[in-house]
């Protein structure tokens, strides 16, 4: 079973992240960029499926040149090879445009299964797999907390409020994973060394046959008009419990008419 895992490089969600005031896009150059944490679960799942079904795991990333770090991480976990779509024209693309680029790249690959994270930690739009499913005409099994492969039949437990939905579809298909699906492995030393020799193919929009004018800020389907830091909250009150903490807490709630 050939699997493509979609991996995005994002600014570290544990640090202060910013938009760039020159064009209202994510400030990626100045950020501490890492692999989208949610995609590690997708990689782990792809490797698990490969271990039971055989085949190859290809990593696909659309992002600036610096995104090679995320690719290396995926390769060091055990993916076999990578495709990196990088083209300055893509800068500032909306999700709709990005999905056209990813779909074009997928069309040049052989896959039975595409696995991706349920959301990125920067855009958090959490629709990329649905957009790709729509564009490629393949089924989407979304929000998986469990994936079972039985021949060409895929079974997914889609996590819901207080339970799950049992989903079924045939390959080729796209599966998006939640962080409840597995525990991603750490790259081993051997894995890190091996990753350095694994093939990474870089493709431009021209290689994909995508018109550069159809992507990027100028033709994005939505536009950020302006942004601002969230207004700072008024300085909060902090009390130390000296036997009266509960009383003060309830006093605050009463004052705010919350009890």
Ligand X SMILES: Cc1cc2nc3c(=O)[nH]c(=O)nc-3n(C[C@H](O)[C@H](O)[C@H](O)COP(=O)(O)OP(=O)(O)OC[C@H]3O[C@@H](n4cnc5c(N)ncnc54)[C@H](O)[C@@H]3O)c2cc1C
Residue list 166-205, contact with other proteins (CB under 8 A):
166-170, 173, 178-180
**What does 133 bind: other proteins, ligand X, none (CB cut-off 5 to 8 Å by kind)?**
other proteins
Residue of 67, 122, 72, 120 whose CA lies nearest to 90? 67
Q: What whole-number distance in Å separates Cα of residue 84 and Cα of residue 105?
A: 9
**Residue 172 tokens, joined:** 């080729």
Neighbours of 58 (CB within 10 A): 23
The entry of other proteins, ligand X, none that residue 98 binds, CB within 5 to 8 Å by partner kind: ligand X
Minimum CB separation of residue 222 from other proteins in Å reads 4
Which residues, 6 or more positions from 230, have their beta carbon under 8 angstroms from its beta carbon? Answer: none
137 lines the binding site for other proteins (CB under 8 A): yes
CA distance 230 to 155: 42
Choose which of 12, 20, 37, 56 interacts with ligand X (CB under 6 A): 37
Binding positions for ligand X, 124-183, rule CB under 6 A: 124-128, 179
Q: Distance between the two ends of the chain, CA-based, in angstroms?
A: 58
Q: How far is the CB of 39 from other proteins (least distance, A)?
A: 12
Residues 7-26 close enough to bind ligand X by CB under 6 A: 7-8, 26
User: Is 139 near other proteins (CB under 8 A)?
Assistant: yes
């Amino acid at each position: 079973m050939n699997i493509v895992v979609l991996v995005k490089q994002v600014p570290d969600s544990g640090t202060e992240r910013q938009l760039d005031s020159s064009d209202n896009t994510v400030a990626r150059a100045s950020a501490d960029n890492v692999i989208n944490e949610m995609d590690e679960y997708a990689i782990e799942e792809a490797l698990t499926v490969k271990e039971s079904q055989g085949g190859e795991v290809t990593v696909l990333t659309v992002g600036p040149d610096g995104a090679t770090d995320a690719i290396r991480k995926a390769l060091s976990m055990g993916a076999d090879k990578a495709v990196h779509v990088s083209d300055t024209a893509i800068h500032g693309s909306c999700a709709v445009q990005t999905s056209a680029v990813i779909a074009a790249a997928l069309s040049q690959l052989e896959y039975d299964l595409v696995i991706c994270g349920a959301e990125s930690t920067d855009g958090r739009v959490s629709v990329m797999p649905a957009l790709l499913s729509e564009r490629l005409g393949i089924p989407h099994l979304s929000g998986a907390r469990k994936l079972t492969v039985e021949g060409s039949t895929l079974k997914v437990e889609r996590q819901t409020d207080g339970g799950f939905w049992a989903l079924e579809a045939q390959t080729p298909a796209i599966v998006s994973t939640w962080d409840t699906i597995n525990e991603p492995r750490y790259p081993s030393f051997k894995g890190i060394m091996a990753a350095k020799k694994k093939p990474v193919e870089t493709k431009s929009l021209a290689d994909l046959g995508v018109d550069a004018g159809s992507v990027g800020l100028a033709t994005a389907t939505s536009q950020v008009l302006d942004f601002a830091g969230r207004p700072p909250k008024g300085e909060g009150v902090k009390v130390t419990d000296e036997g009266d903490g509960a009383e003060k807490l309830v006093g605050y709630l009463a004052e705010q008419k919350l009890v």
